[in-house]
Amino acid sequence: MQKILIVDDNKQIVTVLEEYAEKEGFSVTKAYDGEEAETLVLTQNYDIILLDVMMPKKDGFAVCREIRKNSTVPIIMITARSEDFERIMGLDNGADDYIVKPFSPGEVMARIRAILRRISREDSASDGQFSLGSLSVNLDEYITKINGDKIALTKKETELLWILATNKNKVFSRNQLLSSIWGYDYYGDSRTVDSHIKRLRTKLDETPHPDWEIKTIWGVGYKFEELS
C-alpha cells in the first residue's frame, strides 16, 4: 500500500483529502504544522506528500527545502494564493506540482496519479545509468560526476541534465521540459526552467568539461551537445 503524508493546518481540508486518498488505496498520515511534518518525514518513508504553504511554526517552502536535503519524495504544494511568484518559489524549492485553493479533491488525486505514473515509467524505462565522455549520471542514486568528481545537484537539476543528456542533440522547448520534469503542461511557468538551467550550468561549469555543453537555442529552448 502506498503511503501519503497530508500536511495542512486546516483540519477540514485534511479530512476531505484523507477520505479521497483512502478511496484511492493510500495509507494516510496527517500533520497540521511544518515542524510536525519534518519530524514525520525524518522517521518514515512516504510515496508522496501534499504540503500546504501557509502553516504555523514553519511554512511549506521551508519544509520543502528541508525535505529536499535528504529525499526525492514527490511533493505537491497547496496554497490559498495564486500569484506566480509563489508558484515559482514552490517549484524552485523542489516541489513537483502546485495546486491553488479552492480545489477539487478529485483534481488533487488526478495530479497524484499522474506524478506516480511518471515516476513508475521513469523507474522502468532504463537502468538509471548514463555516461558520455567526462560525464556520468546515476539517476537511481541522483549522483552526477564529471571526470570522477561528484557534482552536488538537486533532484530537479539532475533530472534536467538526465533528459537533455540522454537525448543528445535534441532541442527541448521550455514547455516540453516542464511537462517531462514537472509532469504537467499547463500549470507551470517557463521561467522556472530557465532558473533551473542557469543554476545547473553554474554548478557544472565549476569542473571543466570541454567535450560537451548545454546549449541555449534562442527562441526555442535547450539541448545537450557533444563537442568534437
- Dump pLDDT digits (tens) for 108-127: 998 888 888 777 655 544 56
Please state the rounded mean pLDDT for residues 104-109: 89
**What's the pLDDT score for residue 185?**
46
Q: Are residues 153 and 216 in the same domain?
A: yes
pLDDT attached to residue 186: 43
C-alpha distances out from residue 27 to 108, 194, 211, Å: 16, 37, 48
**Residues 84 and 150 reside in one and the same domain:** no
Q: Are both 109 and 132 inside the same structural domain?
A: no
Average pLDDT estimate for 44-69: 90
Examine the domain organization and report whether 88 and 52 are in the same domain: yes
Q: How many domains does the chain have?
A: 2
Residues 44 and 153 in one domain: no
- Show the domain range for 99: 3-123
Same domain for 187 and 117: no
Domain co-membership, 137 together with 221: yes
Same domain flag for 117 and 21: yes
pLDDT beyond 70 at 64: yes
Are residues 133 and 195 located together in one domain of the fold?
Answer: yes
Q: What is the CATH number of the domain that holds 149?
A: 1.10.10.10
Summarize pLDDT for 196-211 with one digit per residue, the tens.
Answer: 999 999 999 999 999 9
Residue that finishes a domain, picked among 123, 138, 171: 123
Domain shared by 202 and 221, yes or no: yes
Q: Is the pLDDT of residue 184 over 90?
A: no
Q: CATH number, domain at 51?
A: 3.40.50.2300
207 and 139 inside one domain:
yes
